[in-house]
Structure 1
Amino acid sequence: MKGNMNNMMKQMQKMQKKMMQAQDELHEMSFEASAGGGMVTITANGKKEITDIAIKEEVVDPDDIEMLQDLIIAATNDVLKQIDDKTNQQMGQFTKGLNMPGMF
């Protein structure tokens, strides 16, 4: 019985190390999304930190600030969804089959 427990602990440690490596890889990834046919482009890393915002000059209209705001929101939500999807895909392999609510 003690041998089984030691073996299981080693497997858990190995899985934890793989999870940390996968999480580090995710954090280093770059994600990009655009809205308005490329008028607004948002870039973020896997930590959900916005690293760049590119706005084409022709979309900046002082009389229509709401449109620009909507484009920024749409591109930001899209890039955050991409990060969530990639995180679920990459980290989900570790929680597959485990009934653990709140895990990825």
Structure 2
Amino acid sequence: MFGNLSEMGKMFEALQSQAKAMDEELSERRYTIKSGGGMVKLTLNGKGEALDLEIDDSLLEDKSSLQIILLSTISDAYKMVEDNKKQHALGMLGGMNPFTK
């Protein structure tokens, strides 16, 4: 019914190994997103973990602008990381795209 279970086990182990390697690679990647004309700069790794945040001193006196720019920066960063994860997953799947409907 399930074919050769030994072969399926080997395939599963290979996928786990690839996923682990991808996770390690993503943790090493660095992405820097700038917003507000470079007044806010956020650096993340490929797993989406924030590594550094720089805020221009002039924004510290304008809370409203700072909030808007921070939200924009975080949203852009999240999208960049998610797109990159999808591309890596597609590479692992040999180009099959499970993300499209």
TM over 0.5: yes
Structure 1 position 5, deviation (Å): 2.5
Number of residue equivalences:
98
> 2:14: which partner in 1?
14
CA distance in 2, matches of 1:26, 1:71: 26
RMSD across aligned positions (CA): 2.6
CA distance in 1, matches of 2:44, 2:96: 30
* Unaligned 5+ runs, structure 2: none
* Unaligned 5+ runs, structure 1: 100-104
CA distance in 2, matches of 1:11, 1:66: 52
> 2:89: which partner in 1?
91
**Residue 74 of structure 1 aligns to which amino acid in structure 2?**
S
Structure 1 position 11, deviation (Å): 2.1
Q: Percent identity?
A: 29
Aligned equivalent of 1:71, options 69, 72, 90:
69
Structure 1 position 51 matched with structure 2 position 55: no
TM-score by length of 2: 0.78
For the residue of structure 1 that corresponds to 2:4, the secondary structure is helix
Structure 1 position 20, deviation (Å): 1.2
> 1:102: which partner in 2?
none
CA distance in 2, matches of 1:54, 1:76: 13
**Residue 77 of structure 1 aligns to which amino acid in structure 2?**
S
CA distance in 1, matches of 2:96, 2:45: 28
TM-score by length of 1: 0.76
CA distance in 1, matches of 2:66, 2:97: 43
- Is contact 2:90–2:97 with CA below 8 Å preserved after alignment? no
> 2:37: which partner in 1?
37
CA distance in 2, matches of 1:19, 1:89: 13
**Residue 5 of structure 1 aligns to which amino acid in structure 2?**
L
